[in-house]
Amino acid sequence: MAILCRQSIAQHLDADLIRKVTTTGFDLFEKHFGFGYPFGKYDQVFVPEYNSGAMENVGCIVLRDEYVFRSRQTEATYQSRANTILHELSHMWFGDLVTMRWWDDLWLKESFATWAASFAASETAADPSAAWSMFCNGNKNWAYRQDQLPSTHPISADMVDLEAVEQNFDGITYAKGASVLVQLVAFVGREAFLEGVRAYFAEHAYGNTELADLLLALEHASGRDLSGWSGQWLETAGVNTLSADFATDEDGRFTSFAIEQTATPAWPTLRSHRIAIGLYQLIGDSLTRVGRVEVDIAGASTAAPELVGLRQPDLVLPNDDDLTYAKVRLDRRSLRTAVEHINKVTSPLTRALLWGATWDMCRDAELPAIDYLDLVIRGVGTESDLTAVRYLLGQAQSAANSYAPVGLRTELLHRWQDGVGSLLAHSAPGSDHKLALARAFAAASQDAAAADLLTAWLGGTAVPDGLTIDPELRWIIVANLARLGRLTDDDISAELERDNTITGAEQAAGARAAQPTAAAKASAWRLAVEEDTIPNGTQHAICMKFWQRDQDVVLFPYLHRYFEAAEAISASAGPWASRGMSLRNNVLRYLFPWPVDKQPFVEELDDWLANTELTGSVRRTIEERRDDLLRALRCQAAGALVG
């Protein structure tokens, strides 16, 4: 077994840790899959400029070399790398030993590997539920988001051509598929599931299969008929929303209790779910679970008579323990309890579900951005799952950027900056939280005082206790100072001289693109869209940093230039004749205009979409981004009403 990387980064390679994760994975998969590793040697090669996370060639995994860490990382990043290593390793069985017959079953190998990585982590963790909290905070969050876009599709897709395949490396294929596999494990039972998987490998080794082959093995092992399950979960798209509907008497006891299920008009399927309903009460300083019932629900409304007569608690949590795949709506009192007391919830999985429910409500314009920011500020400092911390800090920033009503936006951005600054000041020296919050503070920085502080950090003064301003953190600070107009081109060049590496070059290009000047935007656009020889990683960094808040004046010309770029991509004109999917997607997705004043742009966009011929894949990406815009407008309108 070999681990390889470029010589110039070998000093940073923590090969012992990577080897330990890998060998633990080998032990687990050989045991549970009942089939010894079939390919002899196993190499893991870290390569530069890689467009995706990793790829499972037989006996030779290729991984992006950002996974060789040059700087301090939080636990979330180590978990994410371990997850990728285990995902690729499980593909040696599910993907390589037994291979899908056709791309229609792409989801099956990707979902299985995604499930297998979390399964392996949960089997080896001191606290198995921590791995599933991470799964909930990461994968399910991704799946719900993707499942609400106009481009969503059934997990089991009809892959008519390679363009369809390329488009479907998405949150449905990976994350939703894995979510329903978790549910399938619960449905047939863990032991029966693993027994079915072993029979499947034994029967189909070195062969090709389709979904029916796996379902048959699982049916034999479990004695259950899976045809209904497959129809509801694999062959129809969309996510259901569950909420509690109840009445209480004057003593505050439930006189009726039901779980309501809804679906969107576009994907109206109502499904069967087994769920737990958790009852939580504030006792002393913690929000404690005082009751739990499991019920099978189906259709629009299912009564839960077990709860009648019980006193209404401070918080009712449908889908407690995360047994099913569904969005959850909290009732008014439960929402208030969650917003005010999330830091008093002891179970990380319960917190993950509450984080998920409140983010859904914010994105669905049912919880104003300002309340969401307050919730995150209250709870993120004590959240133990660093994956949750990473998502929460990013989500709150985007709520402040995009979901706040335009008139309240500046106020919210300052509130967020100050909230993060205060959490940073109070976080433990040297902790992961300190690092995560320092990065978030750089992104949140909005005024001269914050910029002065970041500048001081770069100079080595006023640095928070136990925080090292290492290359990665330095570049995050540089990009944000560039965004705020505090750095010249020469300043950025001087940074590049300090870190004259491929990563440094990418980061410097991103920082230049973030500057609020017409010249910087013109140069960035030319490089990302028109330049023939730009390296992929550099183009990605530029696209990610191009649209910035509070730069509408210099960005205005690019509303129309985006249309021209999309037409050129669709026609494979000019440099696009030879450029691949990643470069195209970076432009379509990340250079999509994000003006403060969204309504006039939506109207122009719709007019252009109605009058322009575009390939299916180009249109799909733009319509996803359009959906994000419309969502932001709905949230802004709802926040304005409340404000």
Question: Position 380: which residue type?
Answer: V
d(Cα 587, Cα 199) in Å, to the nearest integer? 45
Question: Which residue, 89 or 508, is less far from Zn ion as judged by CB?
Answer: 89
303-307 long-range contacts (CB < 8 A, ≥24 apart) are 303/256, 303/257, 303/258, 304/257, 304/258, 304/259, 304/277, 305/257, 307/246, 307/254, 307/257, 307/277, 307/279
242-261 residues in contact with Zn ion (CB under 5 A) are: none
- Out of 18, 97, 113, 635, the only residue in the binding site for Zn ion (CB under 5 A) is 113
Applying CB under 5 A, the span of 106-114, 121-129, 444-452, 529-537 interacting with Zn ion comes to 106-114
Which two structure tokens, joined as six digits, stand for 247?
């009445």
Q: Residues 157, 105: contact at Cβ < 8 Å?
A: no
Question: Which residue, 113 or 389, is less far from Zn ion as judged by CB?
Answer: 113
Question: Which residue, 113 or 345, is less far from Zn ion as judged by CB?
Answer: 113
Question: Which residue, 107 or 547, is less far from Zn ion as judged by CB?
Answer: 107
Q: How far is the CB of 157 from Zn ion (least distance, A)?
A: 16
Question: Which residue, 74 or 114, is less far from Zn ion as judged by CB?
Answer: 114
d(Cα 318, Cα 326) in Å, to the nearest integer? 10
- Residue 547: name the closest of 618, 625, 486 by CA: 625
d(Cα 531, Cα 37) in Å, to the nearest integer? 45
Q: How far is the CB of 240 from Zn ion (least distance, A)?
A: 27
- Residue 98: name the closest of 192, 27, 33, 157 by CA: 33
Pairing, β 273-283 against β 315-320: antiparallel
Tell the residue number behind the tokens 């007569």, with chain if given.
Answer: 309
Q: Is 435 in the site for Zn ion (CB under 5 A)?
A: no
Q: How far is the CB of 28 from Zn ion (least distance, A)?
A: 17
Question: Which residue, 110 or 147, is less far from Zn ion as judged by CB?
Answer: 110
Lateral strand order in the sheet of 315-320? 286-297, 273-283, 315-320
**Site for Zn ion (CB under 5 A): how many residues?**
2
Applying CB under 5 A, the span of 103-111, 115-123, 299-307, 554-562 interacting with Zn ion comes to 103-111
- How would DSSP label each residue in 27-44? HHHHHHHTS--TTS--EE
Q: How far is the CB of 234 from Zn ion (least distance, A)?
A: 18
Applying CB under 5 A, the span of 41-49, 112-120, 234-242, 362-370 interacting with Zn ion comes to 112-120
Q: Which one from 88, 110, 495, 624 is the annotated catalytic residue?
A: 88
**Residues whose CB is less than 8 angstroms from the CB of residue 413 and which lie 6 or more positions away in sequence, other chains included:** 400, 401, 404, 444, 446, 549
Q: Residues 389, 352: contact at Cβ < 8 Å?
A: no
Verify whether residue 195 is a known catalytic residue.
Answer: no
* Cα dihedral sign, 230-235-238-244: negative
Applying CB under 5 A, the span of 44-52, 105-113, 453-461, 554-562 interacting with Zn ion comes to 105-113
Applying CB under 5 A, the span of 6-14, 97-105, 113-121, 431-439 interacting with Zn ion comes to 113-121
Q: How far is the CB of 146 from Zn ion (least distance, A)?
A: 16
Applying CB under 5 A, the span of 31-39, 102-110, 119-127, 574-582 interacting with Zn ion comes to 102-110
Q: Residues 632, 362: contact at Cβ < 8 Å?
A: no
- How would DSSP label each residue in 305-367? GGGTTSBP-SEEEEEETT-S--EEE--HHHHHHHHHHGGGB--HHHHHHHHHHHHHHHHTTSS
d(Cα 12, Cα 67) in Å, to the nearest integer? 10
Question: Which residue, 110 or 506, is less far from Zn ion as judged by CB?
Answer: 110
Applying CB under 5 A, the span of 28-36, 109-117, 298-306, 390-398 interacting with Zn ion comes to 109-117
Question: Which residue, 85 or 622, is less far from Zn ion as judged by CB?
Answer: 85
Q: Burial of 270 by CB count in 10 Å (0-12 exposed, 13-18 middle, 19+ buried)?
A: middle
Tell the residue number behind the tokens 């679906």, with chain if given.
Answer: 263
Question: Which residue, 113 or 365, is less far from Zn ion as judged by CB?
Answer: 113
Question: Which residue, 180 or 342, is less far from Zn ion as judged by CB?
Answer: 180
Measured from each CB, the residue nearest to Zn ion is: 113
Q: In angstroms, what CA-CA distances link 246 with 294, 299, 310, 359, 509? A: 17, 17, 12, 23, 56
User: What b-and-e string marks burial along 51-67, b requiring 16 or more CB atoms within 10 Å of the CB?
Assistant: eebbbbeeeebbbbbbb
Question: Which residue, 106 or 469, is less far from Zn ion as judged by CB?
Answer: 106
**Per-residue string for binding with Zn ion, 133-162, x by CB under 5 A?**
------------------------------
d(Cα 242, Cα 346) in Å, to the nearest integer? 23
Q: How far is the CB of 582 from Zn ion (least distance, A)?
A: 16
Q: How far is the CB of 21 from Zn ion (least distance, A)?
A: 16
Strand, coil or helix: what is 149? coil
Applying CB under 5 A, the span of 108-116, 272-280, 322-330, 368-376 interacting with Zn ion comes to 108-116
CB atoms within 10 A of CB 385: 23
Q: How far is the CB of 45 from Zn ion (least distance, A)?
A: 16
Integer-rounded Cα radius of gyration of the chain: 25
d(Cα 266, Cα 155) in Å, to the nearest integer? 16
Q: How far is the CB of 294 from Zn ion (least distance, A)?
A: 33
Q: How far is the CB of 143 from Zn ion (least distance, A)?
A: 15
d(Cα 197, Cα 217) in Å, to the nearest integer? 7
Summarize as ranges the residues that interact with Zn ion (CB under 5 A): 110, 113
- The catalytic site residues sit at 88
